[in-house]
Amino acid sequence: MYEGVEAQSEFKLRRLHLYRDGAAMLEYSGLIATRQARFQMTLPRQAIGQGVHVRIDDREKLVNYLVHEVETESGQALRQFTELLLANVGQVVTIEAFEGRESVGYNGELMPMHPHAEVVYLRTGNAVEAIPISTIVHVTGGKGFQTMRTVREKEWALSVFMVSDYNELPLTVLVPATGFESDARYLLDFDKEKPEMSLDLSLLSPMALDEVDVLFYNHAYQAREVSSFTSQAAFRLAGASMKAGARTNYQVLASEVPLALTDEVVVPAWEPGDQALSSKTTGKRYLSLTNNSQMDWFSNAIDERKGLSLGRIPGVLPEIPKKATARMEYGPSPYILTDNARLVKVKKRAIDLNGMKYDSYLYIGRIEIRNTSREAGRVRIIKHCVPDSRRNYWFANQFFDLKDKTKQEVTQLEYEVKVEANDVAFYSYRYELLLPSAD
């Protein structure tokens, strides 16, 4: 396969690089220990003639390379009478055929025939004999009797021309290829002591691979990046062997997955003038996944295996870089919140601030948290204590002037409440509001 380095085993296919868009790159590397100024290798059938890159570790070495077509001839044995007869059309042959219980011999020139013909025609003098091919037992004679068929094939070859001292030269050849397929799915296992996530990888190779490292990149192939090639792969397989045309399955990782289920319920603010004494609301559920593995989790479908269910998780995992966390909306929360609130004016006193007079109001409420699930959990409540649309409200015990503040600074309180399964919890709260006095 490699001209001039047939005894050199260090140069071989070492890596297969797979990209998100289905592109593939074959990486050949090793030491070239040859005294010839030209190194040539035949590219595999799956190779693409354009986009081949050759790199040498020593920048002082000069190298030039060329990808060109090479036409080869090979002989194939003829295994059927039809193939044998087709290869010897125009030759004078002797054919022995069985007719009934006797064999009959014919001698003459083979006439042209169709590849799927069932009868062969033989010119004998001024007559033409028709002989069924199924009755032929012997074919003899002929001038230059053809028993082989010549097949011409074109294939790509790489020629590397080296200048100066090139003995023990580290050489890397990157060859784009087609026909490789990769499918991956995640399996999230809840039946372990801690949830585990594994990546089941299915690879289809059009060529045989022996002890090759497979690297998958979570982005599309870009030709301009190949010349400065780096191995920042989403995952790697070391020493993978695959048969040509056969699908091979691997389990890439088994990693603990910290799951954080967050139920968030936002309770709207009660504003003066609102006649409703209570408001009901339901929240959203979020699932946080932390990628504590050494590879990137890329967007793909998730299969669940579990006994105790958390509910149907999102069907597609988001892309999560290693050591990062993703937060997904998980579905409706099983908690229903009822906010019983009232605003009571405290008539016994008024407050003067910065030369202005304010009436004091007491905001009193109780939140009822009802768990409709069969499992205990925690609900995170975000309570708006100051209306967003009223800038002249103050949160009494902090004296924040909302006119100079952003609403994120003072407009909500957050707390978390633990609720048992099929249970109801109550949370009482109270705080003071100051409104500009009408007096």
Q: How far apart are CA 349 and CA 358, in angstroms?
A: 9
Q: Cβ distance 396 to 343 under 8 Å?
A: no
Distance CA 302, CA 351 (A): 59
Q: Which of 220, 252, 284 is the last residue of a domain?
A: 252
pLDDT, tens digit (0-9, with 9 covering 90-100), for 51-88: 888 887 766 666 778 888 777 777 677 667 777 788 78
Q: Are residues 40 and 188 in the same domain?
A: yes
What's residue 144's pLDDT? 57
**pLDDT computed for residue 204 by the predictor:** 92
* CATH number of the structural domain spanning residue 138: 2.30.30.520
> Given this model, what pLDDT does residue 6 score?
41
- Rounded distance, CA 175 to CA 190, Å? 42
Q: What is the pLDDT of residue 149?
A: 67
Q: Is 298 found in the same domain as 245?
A: no
User: What average pLDDT does the chain have?
Assistant: 79
Q: What three-state secondary structure class fits 404? A: helix
244 in the same domain as 105: no
**pLDDT recorded at residue 326:** 92
Split the chain (439 residues) into runs of 10 and give each run's mean pLDDT: 46 90 89 71 84 77 77 70 79 85 86 87 87 84 66 79 70 89 87 86 91 89 74 84 90 85 84 76 89 86 74 81 89 88 71 72 83 86 64 43 41 78 83 71
Domain that holds residue 89: 79-146
First to last CA, the chain: 100
Helix spans in 88-171 (H): none
Residue 339: partners with Cβ closer than 8 Å, 6 or more residues away: 267, 270, 278, 279, 280, 281, 365, 366, 367, 383
Name the helix (H) or strand (E) containing 83. Answer: helix 81-87
Residue tagged 């998100």 (tokens) = 20
Number of domains making up the chain: 3
| Claim to verify: residue 234 and residue 166 sit in the same structural domain | yes
Cβ neighbours of 60 (radius 10 Å): 7
- DSSP label of 355: T
- For residues 395 and 318, membership in a common domain is answered with yes
pTM (2 d.p.): 0.64
pLDDT score, position 154 = 75
Q: Which of 117, 146, 175 is the last residue of a domain?
A: 146
Q: Are residues 274 and 360 in the same domain?
A: yes
Kindly state the tokens that stand for 259: 């799951």
Of 126, 146, 166, the domain-final residue: 146
| Structure confidence at residue 324 (pLDDT) | 93
Q: Cα(334)–Cα(262) distance, rounded to whole angstroms? A: 11
